Amino acid sequence: MSRNGFLGLCAATVIALALAVLAVARQPTIRSADLTGEPVLPGLADRLNGLKSVVVKGSEGTMTFDWDGKSFVARDRGGFPADTEKLSGLVIQMTRLVKLETKTSVAEKLDRLDLNDPAAKDSRAKEVQLLDRDGKTLADLIVGKRKFTLGGKETGTYVRLPGSNQAWLALGEVNPGAKARDWLKRDIADVKDKSIKRVTVVHPDGEKVVVGKLSAKDAGFKIENIPSGKQPASDFAADEYGRVLAVLLLDDVAKADTIPFPKDKTITAEVDTFEGLHVTLQTTEKDGSTWLKIKAEPPVGGASKPADGAPDAVDWGKVAADINARANGWAFQVPTYEVAPLKKRMSELVKKPDAKS
């Protein structure tokens, strides 16, 4: 998103704010002398021309996202791309918040609305700061629970300003994410199982598991190096290997050289498609989390013609380039279930032949 596009969205909030005030007046279920129709953050839309950073603070830490002129990047993650659309949406939602009614101003009761100190242990409150190029504060807001029962299609959010214990129910929805995955660009790769020809997994001790298909038309994968005297534990024992690269998403990210991938604790997987794309995955465990590195090699000659029975033609050279553009220099923390098949041993995939009746 360009700066002009972003500022255009912000400018549109002036109209939206007027509509929101009108919506407040029409709320059928709110009857209170405290209903004011005033913006929670007056004049914020007019100050956004100088926006440089969005800071989200919570009990799990602080995340800072900087505008680089074209998009937002995560300062605390080495400049990894953030989800600009989500962050722009958060900023615009903040400009649209309108006061509905006052709530508690007793500090001891703020935790009931998730509006206690965002830095306190186990607090669910979030503090969102908008900063300009000089680091000066454009807006600062503590965000708590949402309220979904305002009587119409509108949603409410409990908020307060830092330095004040006065809580407000505001018209509008602000939902700051609690984790890095809520704000980072999560896509790593997306190669569907119909294109996968073979997956070769090598465990740290050298044990190898090879699964594959003879044709893209085949319904499932077979274990190609099944030990003598064994049979698959089920007809579907190998199928999940083909789905490892399908919608592969990150939970967090770090510079590759900050995450160790020791040989004695790293699983390597080689994935080949019928069209010639080759992808190498490495996975390891660190502090109870699964980390992954990935590299793609395009088909020789950049072939994009689909194999018989495979999906429509794909520019596999571009697929490889896109994966590498996202992954080069990075290690990704991923949900363990996404790469769980790669951790399986042959003993988990096979069994003794069924006894003949």
User: Where are the extended beta strands (E) located within 165-244?
Assistant: 168-171, 187-189, 196-202, 208-212, 222-223, 231-232
Rounded to whole angstroms, how far apart are CA atoms 119 and 125?
Answer: 8
Enumerate helices (H) and strands (E) in the chain, giving the number of each. Answer: 5, 21
Rounded to whole angstroms, how far apart are CA atoms 105 and 166?
Answer: 4
Rounded to whole angstroms, how far apart are CA atoms 141 and 161?
Answer: 5
User: Region 105-133: what's the mean pLDDT?
Assistant: 96
Rounded to whole angstroms, how far apart are CA atoms 190 and 244?
Answer: 9
For the stretch 288-347, pLDDT in tens is 999 999 999 999 865 555 555 555 678 999 999 999 999 999 999 999 999 999 999 999
For the stretch 190-208, pLDDT in tens is 999 999 999 999 999 999 9
* Residue 257: strand, helix, or coil: helix
Rounded to whole angstroms, how far apart are CA atoms 11 and 18?
Answer: 12
pLDDT at 212 exceeding the cut of 60: yes
- For residues 170 and 101, the answer to whether their CB atoms sit within 8 Å is no
pTM of the entire structure?
0.84
Rounded to whole angstroms, how far apart are CA atoms 236 and 266?
Answer: 26
Predicted local confidence at residue 3, as pLDDT: 58
AA letter at 176? P
Out of 20-29, 47-56, 233-242, 254-263, which region has the weakest mean confidence (pLDDT)?
Answer: 20-29
Q: What are phi and psi of 243, to 5 degrees?
A: -105, 5
Rounded to whole angstroms, how far apart are CA atoms 87 and 129?
Answer: 12
Given pLDDT bands bounded at 50, 70 and 90, which one contains residue 32?
very low
Our measurement of the distance from residue 158's CA atom to the centroid of its chain's CA atoms, rounded to an integer in Å, reads: 25
Predicted local confidence at residue 37, as pLDDT: 84
Percent of the chain with pLDDT over 70: 85
| Half-sphere exposure for 24 (CA within 13 Å, toward CB) | 26
Predicted local confidence at residue 300, as pLDDT: 84
Rounded to whole angstroms, how far apart are CA atoms 151 and 331?
Answer: 46
pLDDT at 45 exceeding the cut of 80: yes
Q: What are phi and psi of 34, to 5 degrees?
A: -85, -5
User: Region 152-162: what's the mean pLDDT?
Assistant: 88
Rounded to whole angstroms, how far apart are CA atoms 41 and 301?
Answer: 56
Rounded to whole angstroms, how far apart are CA atoms 119 and 137?
Answer: 19
Partner residues linked to 294 by β-bridges: 281
Out of 29-33, 91-95, 117-121, 322-326, which region has the weakest mean confidence (pLDDT)?
Answer: 29-33
pLDDT at 34 exceeding the cut of 60: no
Rounded to whole angstroms, how far apart are CA atoms 168 and 335?
Answer: 37
* Residue 303: strand, helix, or coil: coil
Predicted local confidence at residue 42, as pLDDT: 95
Partner residues linked to 285 by β-bridges: 290
Given pLDDT bands bounded at 50, 70 and 90, which one contains residue 132?
very high
Rounded to whole angstroms, how far apart are CA atoms 20 and 343?
Answer: 52
